[in-house]
Amino acid sequence: MFVTHLQVGDTVRRHGADPVTGCVRPGAVRVALRDVEVQSAKRRIGSVPNLGELERAVMERLWAAPGSLTARDVQEGLTTNPATTTVLTVLSRLQRKGLVTRERDGRAHHYCAVGSREDHVAELMNVALDTATDRSAALARFVGSIAPEERARLRDLLG
């Protein structure tokens, strides 16, 4: 729906064309179209609710897994049935954010969550509670605007 011809051409060349013959594999076109839709939606509304939901779903899947997972494992566990390229995009975004690590094992990449869900919730709550604690007011209600050592110093100064 949001696709323009130029974008379809671009994406197909990137993902789907056979490098030798230049022919387009049929499955790849579907994948590419889906990607273009995601990208167009991103341009259209600034942020992609689907991508956020997908990130959450992928993290839930990784947290629930006992060990590391391949992108295919992740994809199979998702109920929304996203394209492989989309799952790879989400995994690399999560990797960039430091929430996921990737290890190469032979030909396959294995993905693993950095820290448990509980660890991360605890990190958020620590920041949130600390911000609500400042004596005269929520001095650092604005997350991160004050370093721990400054906070300690303030406490000392104010007794």
Partner 1 sequence: MEVAALGLLVLGVGLAEPVSRALADARWPARDPVGALLVWQSVGLVGGLALVGACAVYGIAPLGPDLRSVLAVLGADPGAVLAVGPSHLLGLALGLGLVCWLLGVTAATTLRTLRARRRHCDLLDVLATPWPAVPGTHVLDHAAPVAYCLPGRRSRLVLSVGTLRALDPAQVVAVLAHERAHLRERHDLVVLPFVAWGATAPFVPGMVRAQIAVAALVEMRADDVAAAHTRPAELACALRTVGGAAPAAALGSFVTALDRRLDRITSPPAPLPPPVSVLVRLAAAALVALPPLVLLVP
Question: Which residues in this chain contact partner 1 in the complex, by CB under 8 A?
Answer: 47, 49, 52, 55-56, 59, 94, 97-99, 117, 120-121, 123-125, 127-147, 150, 153-154, 157-159
At its nearest, how many Å lie between partner 1 and the CB of residue 136?
Answer: 4
The angle that helices 117-132 and 49-64 make with each other, rounded to 10 degrees, is 120
At its nearest, how many Å lie between partner 1 and the CB of residue 3?
Answer: 27
Question: How many Cβ atoms from other residues are within 10 Å of residue 79's Cβ?
Answer: 6
Cα–Cα distance between 88 and 104 in angstroms, integer?
A: 14
* Of 57, 64, 74, nearest in space to 111 by CA: 74
Residue 11 or 61: the one with the smaller Cβ distance to partner 1 is: 61
Residue 108 or 147: the one with the smaller Cβ distance to partner 1 is: 147
Residue 106 or 144: the one with the smaller Cβ distance to partner 1 is: 144
At its nearest, how many Å lie between partner 1 and the CB of residue 112?
Answer: 15
Residue 6 or 137: the one with the smaller Cβ distance to partner 1 is: 137
* Of 100, 93, 111, nearest in space to 52 by CA: 93
At its nearest, how many Å lie between partner 1 and the CB of residue 74?
Answer: 14
Q: First CA to last CA across the chain, in angstroms?
A: 63
